[in-house]
Amino acid sequence: MLLNGLAMLVAGPLWYETVPGVPDTGPFNPHFVQDIGAAFLVAGLALAARAWRPRYWPAAVAGAGFLAAHGLIHLVLIVSGHAHHAAFDLLAVVLPSALALYSAFPNQGEQHA
């Protein structure tokens, strides 16, 4: 998530042209790509904070919430038959967002802050 966000912020046009399906969404909009890049960067930082300090799990849940919503949009597109790159979307968007959401919450062995 961190790398994806950084790529969107630093090399938006390259990111836009190389990610499967993205160029199919319309012309490149630098402001939009940077806004979404910032969201991915913050989500990645929140998940990294959880890995660094488990008591920061609420921040990780917030970051994973964005990723889960994004993944849910892609899952609906896949199920409805409107995803042009369904396998890529499933592996690169839906699965990582589900893993992020799962890993954000504390497990039974962790103390809750």
14-42 pLDDT, tens digit each: 999 999 989 999 999 999 999 999 999 99
**Which residue in the block uniquely carries the two structure tokens 């913050």?**
42
Beta carbons of 73 and 21 less than 8 angstroms apart: no
Q: What is the C-alpha to C-alpha distance for residues 85 and 20, in angstroms, rounded to an integer?
A: 7
Q: What is the C-alpha to C-alpha distance for residues 63 and 58, in angstroms, rounded to an integer?
A: 9
Nearest to 41 by CA among 76, 91, 74, 2: 2
For residue 88 the two structure tokens come to 């890529």
Query: What does the pLDDT look like over 61-111, one tens digit per residue?
Result: 999 999 999 999 999 999 999 998 999 999 999 999 999 999 999 887 766
Beta carbons of 67 and 94 less than 8 angstroms apart: no
Count of CB atoms situated within 10 Å of the CB of 22: 14
Beta carbons of 70 and 97 less than 8 angstroms apart: yes
pTM attached to this predicted model: 0.84
